[in-house]
Amino acid sequence: MSELSFEQMLEESLKTIRTGEIVTGKVIDVKEDEIVLNIGYKSDGIIPRNEYTDDQNLDLTTVVQVGEDMEAKVTRVNDGEGQVALSYKRLAADRGNKKIEEAFESHEVLTAKVTQVLGGGLSVVVEGARVFIPASLVSDVYEKDLSKYSDKEIEFIITEFNPRRRRIIGDRKQIMVAKRAELQKELFAKIHAGDVVEGVIKNVTDFGAFIDLGGADGLLHISEMSWGRVESPKKAFKTGEKLEVLIKDINGDKIALSLKFPETNPWKDAAEKYAIGNVITGRVARMTDFGAFVELEPGVDALLHVSQISKEHVDKPADVLSIGQEIEAMVVDFNEEDKKISLSIKALQVQDEYQEEDGPVYSDEV
């Protein structure tokens, strides 16, 4: 009777536990795939690797030491072998869910590392609880490839919280939109037409390039990319390239940009360089039936009329000229207001003939 009474007394001295209860124990053994805890119960508690982590290659001996105190959640009082089944991962998830619920109610901004890049979005873990961020809510712009976010810490808010259905949705886009709105407000408060600012090329199209100015995008139209002609913006500029640009105009939230800086305007001293009677060299840029347009420098074209190509009759410019050909001609007309210059090869030929006879020639004699 005395032995039975002793066993009964020992049994009564040990605590009782229930499924779902949180227990604290001391680590008495660690293997690669399980942790053994003394939880003050008649049986030890066991945490298998899959109830400690999602990483099934993790060696538990590298992260847990004998003698440590640990908390865990009881999943079964008897695991079939007389031991108590425990989960560290579920305890962490419960606490994470609690934190997420509080963040959901208070609209708190959370920060967590991206643990998985999925086909439809990103998965992050907050203190053991998983949060899914759909691809459409990852950024304020469309991003086809989300792999750059792998293992990166990101900020987000919780927009849907339903742990019973395992549906916890995060939103990073709202934060980015709000931050961009604030940056936009700051940017528009300090920029003015005529300012030169630095930006980063965000996107290049056939008609121009969109430049991120740090809070708002500006459009650099193809016609403002150079004083000369730009055939293809995609060949001239690359996404991610830094540029110093001139703010040409601000209209509401639209910003027009330019690379035509006033100090580099080729017409600034054109009146002197291309005065009537000056002999210049240029390159045939394009041709029509009535004449050829000659590029004297980027941004300055002149017309060589078909009647001024030669003393001999020329039906059309293409009969005697070719694109890219370098020619020498005389300036016979200069209109700065309309930015028009007229050239003549014929005048040079006539001048040469007169010079051979020691007689001067003037452009108005041609």
The verdict on residue 185 lying in a domain is no
The verdict on residue 96 lying in a domain is no
The verdict on residue 99 lying in a domain is no
pTM over 0.85? The answer is no
Query: Do residues 112 and 57 both lie within one domain?
Result: no
**CA–CA dist 71, 79 (Å, integer):** 18
Whether residue 324 contacts residue 284, with contact meaning beta carbons closer than 8 Å, is answered with yes
pLDDT of residue 26: 93
DSSP-derived secondary structure letter, 17: -
Query: Do residues 172 and 197 both lie within one domain?
Result: no
Query: Do residues 216 and 255 both lie within one domain?
Result: yes
Domain of residue 229: give its range: 191-263
Listed residues 90, 118, 134: the one ending a domain: 90
The verdict on residue 364 lying in a domain is no
The verdict on residue 363 lying in a domain is no
Q: Which two three-digit tokens encode residue 208?
A: 């121009």
* Total domain count, the chain: 4
Query: Do residues 233 and 288 both lie within one domain?
Result: no
The verdict on residue 241 lying in a domain is yes
pLDDT values of the chain reduced to their tens digit, one per residue, 366 residues: 445 455 554 454 556 788 888 899 999 999 999 999 999 888 899 999 988 888 888 999 999 999 999 989 899 988 677 889 999 988 888 888 888 999 999 999 999 999 999 989 999 988 878 899 999 999 988 888 899 999 999 999 999 998 778 789 999 999 999 998 999 999 999 999 999 999 999 999 999 999 999 889 999 999 999 988 888 999 999 999 999 999 999 999 899 999 999 998 999 889 999 999 999 999 999 999 999 999 999 889 999 999 999 989 999 999 999 999 999 999 999 998 898 999 999 998 887 666 655 555 444 544
Query: Do residues 209 and 152 both lie within one domain?
Result: no
The verdict on residue 98 lying in a domain is no
Query: Do residues 36 and 85 both lie within one domain?
Result: yes
Query: Do residues 200 and 226 both lie within one domain?
Result: yes
Query: Do residues 282 and 345 both lie within one domain?
Result: yes
Domain CATH code at residue 117: 2.40.50.140
pLDDT of residue 365: 47
**CA–CA dist 136, 202 (Å, integer):** 19
Query: Do residues 242 and 313 both lie within one domain?
Result: no
What does the angle CA 46 – CA 48 – CA 50 come to, to the nearest 5 degrees?
150
Query: Do residues 218 and 257 both lie within one domain?
Result: yes
pLDDT of residue 89: 85
pLDDT of residue 363: 45
The verdict on residue 366 lying in a domain is no
Beta pairing class for 84-87 and 69-76: antiparallel
Query: Do residues 202 and 248 both lie within one domain?
Result: yes
**CA–CA dist 172, 229 (Å, integer):** 42
